Structure formats: structure tokens, C-alpha cells
Amino acid sequence: MTSTASRARELMTAAVADPGLAGVAAELQRICRAAVSGLGLLGAAVHVMPQSGVSGIGASSDAHAAILAELLTTTGEGPGADAFSMRRPVLVPDLLASSGRWPGYVEAAARAGLGAVWSLPLHLGAVSLGILDLYDVDARSLSAEDLGVAVQLSRLAVEPLLDGRSGGHGGSVDAGLAAVEHFAEVHQAQGMVMVDLKVELAEALVRMRAHAFANEMTLVELARAIVGGTEDAVSWDR
């Protein structure tokens, strides 16, 4: 079962971004391209929602995928819009069969040659950042294994987006956010730091990661200290 995670990482390692891109944009494009090559897709795009606090960052596997991603903005509906607002994957293996749900989007997407769209939310709990859209020409289902890889790739996109939001690095000695997601303490501590520092929830995590990094702790160790009452965010330096 962990093979989906390792396959996602392998695909990421093999993916190369355009030479002109750097930082978060390059990272996100590699995620898109990893999805395309790994799942045999027409294209993939990361769409960042304006209300997420991240601006000017988006990515696509190629220029065509960028045009397909725009359909969400031009029609104002679609699987991506629902995945974002409902914070859950919206997977549409047969787009034409869903024309009742998003009439405008399906019509425009069909004209653009799309048969299937899989939208995955990019979020960490209540912090919603955007979506990862996967596109294909034919109406078809993805296997459970391929869906698992898609979910893993979507998780990998959350971290660069959070970093992009903070305008810098979120430095951490952890393997990555995806690796600590199953620790309840990390999320509880995030809520506590949000209140203690009077910041947004996303910012609370950025501050926790920076503090953990600066003090050579793992995020889980820091979170346990916060929840256990031995670490107080109020005392942290800005």
C-alpha cells in the first residue's frame, strides 16, 4: 500500500520542469508532469484559488493544460470549483454524463476535447489553497492504484503552496508535511498557535515549521510540546 507513496516520489524525481522556472512554480510543474507521465494523461494543472491568500502561482504540465485549467475560471464552475469548496476529491471519469451538474463547464470542456477530469483539493484541514486538475481525452476510470498516486501527488503540492504563501521557506527537519498528517497533535497545535499568535490557520503552521527548524526539533516534537503545555508560541520571536 505504501507503494503509491513511493511511486509518486519516483515520478517526481523523474519529472523535469521548464528551464525558465524556479522555486515553487517549478516544483508545481514537476508535480503536474509526474501525474501526466505516471497516469498517462492528456494534461494536469495546479489551480490556486484567489481566496487562498496565494497569488500569482499556478502551474500546468504544458500550454494546452494551462488553457484547460482556465475553463474553471471562465465558466465559474466544474469539478475543480466543487473540489475546492467541498474540500474533497471530485472525480469525473465520464464528463459528458455529468453535464447536469456543471452544464457550462461540461460544454466548454467537451469542445476542448476533454472526456474525463479528476480534481483533487490542495489543503491541510481547514486551510484550502487550490486544486490539482487531471485531464484526459477519453472517458475512463483510473485504477485504485493510480488514484492513490494522484492523491499522493496532490499532497506533495500542498507544501510548496504553503511556502509560496509565506513568501519564503517553511523549513523543517521533517520528511515533509505528508509524513506528519496522521499525527493529531500537529493539527491541534496548529489551532492553538493560531489563537496564541492571532494569525490565520495557514500562517500558524508556517510559524510552527520555522520554529521547529530553528530549534532542530521535528514538527511532531514541537506539536507535542505545545499540546502538552511545555512550549508556548506567545514567547516565540517574530
Partner 1 sequence: MERLADLFVEVADTLVADFDLIDFLQSVALHAVEVSDQATVGVLLSDQAGRLHHMGASNEDARVLELLQLQNDEGPCLDCYQSGQPVVHLDLAEDPPWPMFAARATELGFVSVHAFPLRLRDRVIGALNVFRPDARSLSPEEQRVIQALADCATIAIIQEQAIARAEVVTEQLQAALASRIVIEQAKGAVARTFGVSVDAAFEMIRSHARSTNQRLADVAQVLVTDHQGMDALR
Instruction: Tell me how crowded residue 96 is: count the other CB atoms within 10 A of its CB.
Output: 14
80 contributes a contact to partner 1 by CB under 8 A = no
Q: Which is nearer to partner 1, 18 or 94 (CB)?
A: 94
Cα(42)–Cα(91) distance, integer angstroms: 16
12 contributes a contact to partner 1 by CB under 8 A = no
4 grid coordinates: 503509491
Q: Which is nearer to partner 1, 87 or 101 (CB)?
A: 87
Q: Which is nearer to partner 1, 26 or 78 (CB)?
A: 78
Residues in contact with partner 1, counted by CB under 8 A, come to a total of 44
**Which of the residues 160 through 179 are near partner 1 (CB under 8 A)?**
178
* Of the residues 19, 143, 235, 238, which one makes contact with partner 1 according to CB under 8 A: 143
151 contributes a contact to partner 1 by CB under 8 A = yes
Handedness of CA 1, 185, 176, 161 (dihedral sign): positive
Q: Which is nearer to partner 1, 112 or 126 (CB)?
A: 126
Q: Could you tell me the CA-to-CA distances from 208 to 2, 52, 113, 157, 190 in Å, in that order?
A: 27, 19, 44, 19, 8
C-beta separation of 162 from 76 below 8 A: no
191 contributes a contact to partner 1 by CB under 8 A = yes
140 contributes a contact to partner 1 by CB under 8 A = no
* Of the residues 56, 100, 144, 230, which one makes contact with partner 1 according to CB under 8 A: 144
- The letter for the amino acid at 48 is V
Q: Which residues bind partner 1 (CB under 8 A)?
A: 1-2, 4-5, 86-91, 93, 118, 120-121, 123-126, 141-144, 147-148, 151-152, 178, 181-185, 187-196, 201, 227
